[in-house]
Structures are given as C-alpha cells and as structure tokens.
Chain A
Amino acid sequence: MAILIILLILTLLASLWAAMTPMLLRAAIALALTSALLSVLMFQLNSPYAAVFELSVCAGLISVIFVSVITLTHRLPLKEYLRRRQSRIYRFMYLPFIVIAVVLAMYFIRIDLNIMPSMTQSISDVRIALWEYRRIYLFGQIMAILAGVFGVLVLFKGDKED
C-alpha cells in the first residue's frame, strides 16, 4: 500500500511538471514519464496487459508524435521565450491552490460507496475476456485504427519535411 501512495505522488508531481514547464520538449518528456509511472502503477494493481499497452503506446508512440510535431513547428526566438516564461509563472500560480482546494473538497464530501453488489462472471485472463465476451471491442479498435490511417493520409499530405 505504501508503494502505491509513493507512485501516486510521483505521478502527480510528474504531471505537475508537464503542465508547468515552459519548454515544450520538456513537457513531452514529462508526459512520457507520467505514462511510465502510470504503467508501473498498473503493474502493481494486477493489470499487466494494460500496463504493457500503456507503456508501449503512450510512453512510446505518443512521445514520438509529440516530439515530431514539436520539431516540425519551429520554436520561438529567445526574447519571446523569456517573455512568455515570465507570464507563464504568473498564470500557473493559482494551480497548486486549486488542486489543494479540490482535494480538500473531495475529502469532506463523504459519499456512501456500495461497491460490487454481485459478480456474475469471474474471468481471470484479459485475453479470454476480450476474445470470448467482448469481441466487439476488437472490431471497434480495428475501425478506429482504420480511421486513423485515413486521418494520416488526409492531414499529413503535402510537403512534410523528413
């Protein structure tokens, strides 16, 4: 249990860093770090398949996409950078207070939780669950990937350097 709390705090700090850092490349790296920590958290919570998926896709593919978009759209000159950095600190000043306020609000609203009234099936393996009981999800995922392929064809056409 203690390790879960440590992982959660680290994830929160990584996401805070991703939001507040002024350089976009560092924000993308912070996002990948958040995904990795989330993946470790999922391993701890008995979900190995989802953890592997999250690690390979989110910490890998999305970071590649982000870094390529950042390099394709050139950065600002240095003076503009510093000016933006100043205004960013002031804009994000309120963020930690809002987070603490939301956390305290949730702590004080105690809703009665009546979890899991009945469990009809006890499936242990994701592969069985996905193939036998919820095969429609696979079909839908194939459709989504197909739509993504067309999205790439439509939106990334024209001259794309490298």
Chain B
Amino acid sequence: MRYLLILIPFISIIILNLFPKKNRLAAAFWTGAVIFTLQLMMSMIFPFNDWGKVIFRSIEPVLGFNLLFDDLTILLLISSAMVCLTSFITGWSTIKKDDDKFYFTNLLLIALIGINGIAMAGGTVSLYLFIEVTALSSFIMVALYRDKQGLEGSWKYLMLSVVASVLMLTSISLFLMLAPSTTFADIRTIASAGNTTVLFQLAVILFVCGLLIKGGLVPFHGWLPDAYTSAPAPVSVLLAGIVTKASGIFALARFITSASGTPEPLKNVLLLVGILSIVIGALAALGQNDIKRMLAYSSISQMGYIVAGLGIGTALGTFAALFHFFNHAVFKTQLFANAAAIEEQLGTRDMDKMGGLGSKMPVTATTATIASLSTAGIPPLAGFWSKVLIIIALWSSAYYAYAAIALTASIVTLAYFLTLQRKVFFGKVAQGLENIKEAGYGLIIPSVVLTCITVGVGIIFPFFMGVFIK
C-alpha cells in the first residue's frame, strides 16, 4: 500500500539504530541496500499490474493519512529510487570514516521518507512539511564532513530555504482564509470558480515563489552552486538528482496540476523565470573551472527548461517538462557520479589541472561523454527528445522569442560540455597524473547502468510517443 512507502523506511531507521556499535556498519549497509532496492521495485512493479492498482489507488485513507497516488507520483518514485540508489552506492565507495557512513545512511533514509511524502502529499501543508523534512536532512548531509566549505554551503542553503518556507507559509495562511481548507482539492474549488480575487492570485504567486527558491532557479539561485560544490560527493548526487527537483519542480508541477491551473500572471512568471534560468545558467557555466560548480550551473539551466515547459500550460508542454524531469534525473546523476569518480581518483576538482584522462579512465570518460551529449540534446539520446518537445511546445504556443532563446542556450550547453570533455578527458596527459587508475567498482556500476537507461530511453521513445502523450 502507499503508506508503506513512508512507513517502511521509518521502521528501518528505528531497527537500524538498535544495533550494537560493532555491528552497525554492516547493518547500515544491508539496510540501505534492501530499502533502496525495495523502493525501486515498489515504484516500478506495483503501480502497473492490476493487483497493485487496486491497492495503490484505493481512495479511502486507511491509516488516517491523506495521501494521493497518481501518475505524477509514479514519476517521482521511479526517479528518486534511481537517484537514491546511486547516491547510496557512491556514498559507500567515497566516504572514508565509518561513523560518517552510518550517519549518511540514516540521513539518506530520512530524505527518502521526505521525498516519498512529497510525492504523495495531499495538501499544501503536508507538501510544506515533507519538503522541510527533506531539506533538514539535506542541510545535515551537506555539512557531513564539517569542513569549511561544507559548512558554508549548508549555511547558505539553510538561510534561503527558511526564507522560502516563510513565503510558502504566508501563502498557506492566505489560503486558510480564502479557501475551505488547505488541501489541494479545496483550493481547486476556488481557483476553478473563475473570479479569483487579487489576494488569491497573490497567494498562488507567493507559494510558487517559495517553491522556486527551493528549486534553485534564477533569481533565487544564490545558494545552489555553493551547496552543490561543497557537499560530499554522494550528497551532490542526491541534491542534483532529486532533492532540488522534488522540492522545487515536482511540488510546482503538483501544485499547478492539482490546485491552481495556470492563470495568466502565473504563466508569465514561470516563463520568465524559466528563460532567465536557462540563459544565466548556461552563461555562468561557461566560465567555470571547478567541475562540480559547472555541473551545478548546468543544473540551473536544465531546470529552467522544465519550468518554462510547465509555464506554457498546454498538455504538450507539461508532458515535455515532466519527461525532461526524468531525463535530467538520469543524466545529471550520471555526471555527478562521474565527477565523484574523478575527484576520488585525482583528489582535485580543478579542471585546469586535468587532461588526457580518457586513456586512463575509459569507463568514466565514455559514460560522461554520453551523458553530456544527452544534456546538450543530441539525437538519438533521451535528452534530445525532451528538449525538442519543449522547444516545439514553446513555438506552437506563439512564444517565438522564447523558443529561439531556448534553442540558442542548447547550443551553449553543447559548447561548455565540449569544453569539459576536451579539458578533462582528451588531449595530453597532464603533469603528475600518470598513475591514475580507473575508479573502483562501486563508482563504475551506477554510471554504466544510468548510461544504458539514457541510451535505451532515447532509442525506444519515438515508438512510444503516441502512447505517452495524454
């Protein structure tokens, strides 16, 4: 049942902490492996066969929780299962101290509960609550090593996240007055009535602005590059792959489709923020020489695409945005896992010091190249389809200037990723790097799996395109 998605990790945390001290590392490993694989299986198998459909989609709340479960939920569950599993494997290959490994596993389980809660939230307050739970575990995970940069990134993240929460709570209190209650269904009754007052529209815009800050879009992106670069490697994977997207973009998609629709001012705000994010993210990524910082700005740019797609309002735009959501979860996780592998082997993240790694680390190089091409939108990979659909949706809704800008930014994306490839992987082997070997198995296997998913989805997609567009 859907309640198991948030109850099983909770019970596992309790059981995990009951182990005595000398056993707890092994217990943490096995618990984490079991739970994340279980999440993957539950999100992929159960919603699709008939027996699971009956259980998952039954209406009445069983334990007294008001949890939704629809197609959007399945999207987030699958994405989060992949990203959390990758983050877990990366964490166990990268984190050195045993205590840190143990706490990391626990915090990752709490983040998983939070993300499942976001996927199934039934009202604005539950959404806020689970976003906060995920954010709290993320703050602690970013500062896991207690070094200078980690603390700084975590501090900035915390400040801006609490400000965003304040905006969301202001909006919730306005909804408390203007709608029968704060659940999505009740807000929808007021929004679809037609004549919404100025205060209601202000409440919607405030809620959306709070979510955009949490998602790290321009002009609210001040925390994102610092948090992504200074976090430990598996935490960067988690943040980029799922936390920012679930807290910001997924909550936005849920709010728009369930509660408010897209009135005109909201559409303009989303389109503007989306296009600004695309442009500024792409331009800022050009001038970076820290590999994770460049990937962070690239994340801002890609999320701009998703938000712009959501802001269009048509079915094609929403579908393209959600497909790009899934693709971005795959290839950005892949890229951050590769960056983790590089950092693990080299000990540095400065791209100017790297060169010619293609011959030394062949698997990492190949997977990073494929993921970069997918991000830039090269056929026949998956990223191409989602980007093309977003640009087509922009074009067909008569936003010609925005479509042209999105297309140009895609070319800039290709430019900086080619720079990355050239600097890091190709060319001559730089000084002092002759002894680098390939990264360990723990870092290679997720990369290979994710690359296969990207390539596979890209090839299969055209056949299924008619089926998916609802």
Given contacts A118-B180, A120-B180, A154-B144, contact A139 B136 (CB under 8 A): no
Give the contacts of A121-162 with B (CB-CB under 8 A). 121, 131-132, 134-137, 139-144, 146-148, 150-151, 153-155, 157-158
Q: Is the CB of B132 within 8 A of A144?
A: yes
B45 to chain A, nearest CB (A): 25
Give the residue of A113, A134, A151, A158 whose beta carbon is less than 8 angstroms from that of B139: A151
Q: Is the CB of A143 within 8 A of B103?
A: no
Chain B interface size, as a band, is: 35 or more
Chain A facing B: main interface SS? helix
A141 to chain B, nearest CB (A): 8
Flag the segment in B109-117, B208-216, B223-231, B355-363 that touches A.
B109-117
A58 to chain B, nearest CB (A): 15
Q: Is the CB of A114 within 8 A of B178?
A: yes
Q: What sequence of 0s and 1s flags, for each residue 169-200 of chain B, a beta carbon within 8 Å of any chain A beta carbon?
A: 00000000111110000100010000001110
Q: Is the CB of B199 within 8 A of A144?
A: no
Give the residue of A119, A136, A141, A151 whose beta carbon is less than 8 angstroms from that of B66: A136
Q: Is the CB of A139 within 8 A of B177?
A: no
Q: Is the CB of A112 within 8 A of B198?
A: yes
Q: Is the CB of B137 within 8 A of A150?
A: yes
Q: Which residues of A contact B63 (CB under 8 A)?
A: 135
A134 to chain B, nearest CB (A): 8
Count chain A residues whose beta carbon lies closer than 8 angstroms to a beta carbon of B. Answer: 33
Q: Is B133 an interface residue (CB 8 A)?
A: yes
Q: Is A98 an interface residue (CB 8 A)?
A: no
Give the contacts of B105-154 with A (CB-CB under 8 A). 106-107, 110, 113-114, 117, 122, 125-126, 129-130, 132-133, 136-137, 139-140, 143-144, 146
Q: Is the CB of B140 within 8 A of A150?
A: yes
Q: Is B65 an interface residue (CB 8 A)?
A: yes
User: Which residue, A114, A132, A142, has most C-beta atoms of chain B within 10 A?
Assistant: A114
Given contacts A116-B178, A136-B65, contact A150 B114 (CB under 8 A): no
Q: Which residues of A contact B (CB under 8 A)?
A: 111-121, 131-132, 134-137, 139-144, 146-148, 150-151, 153-155, 157-158
What would 5 A/B residue contacts be, using CB atoms closer than 8 Å? A118-B180, A137-B129, A139-B6, A154-B143, A157-B99
